[in-house]
Amino acid sequence: DVKVTQSSRYLVKRTGEKVFLECVQDMDHENMFWYRQDPGLGLRLIYFSYDVKMKEKGDIPEGYSVSREKKERFSLILESASTNQTSMYLCASKPTGTPGTEAFFGQGTRLTVV
């Protein structure tokens, strides 16, 4: 069974902290994504990676960075957390090949910045 695992379901962090959100997939997928989900806005793409050490900005990259040192792991980094980054964060992976192949999602990390 396909699996995308996010390291935390719930996180509470303080303003100004450096925050790491981790995502691991076991499907040998080349493409990995970080989305942010907010009510009324749907899912917005923060960053995606199409190969190890390769990354591309999505629609809302400001305040975020990413790291992909190994194929199975994709990390989202909030360099200095702010309250407006309180949100649900979803990781996804997708194989290269036919773009019509579905993306597989993790369970999400609900981050609260206080």
**Residue 84 tokens, joined:** 């407006």
Nearer to another protein by Cβ, of 5 and 65: the residue is 5
d(CA 100, CA 84): 33
By the rule CB under 8 A, 11 interacts with another protein: no
Give the binding range for another protein (CB under 8 A) out of 15-23, 38-46, 62-70, 72-80.
Answer: 38-46
Cβ neighbours for 47, distance < 8 A, ≥ 6 positions apart: 33, 34, 55, 56, 57, 58, 61, 64, 65, 66, 76
Footprint on residues 18-37 left by another protein (CB under 8 A):
31, 33, 35
- Hey, is 36 helix, strand or coil? strand
d(CA 93, CA 105): 7
Which of 44, 61, 63, 77 is close enough to bind another protein by CB under 8 A? 44
Give the binding range for another protein (CB under 8 A) out of 18-26, 66-74, 76-84, 104-112.
Answer: 104-112
Which of 1, 28, 62, 100 is close enough to bind another protein by CB under 8 A? 100
d(CA 44, CA 57): 11
Residue ranges binding another protein (CB under 8 A): 4, 9, 31, 33, 35, 40-45, 48, 50, 58, 90, 92, 94, 96, 98-100, 102-103, 105-108
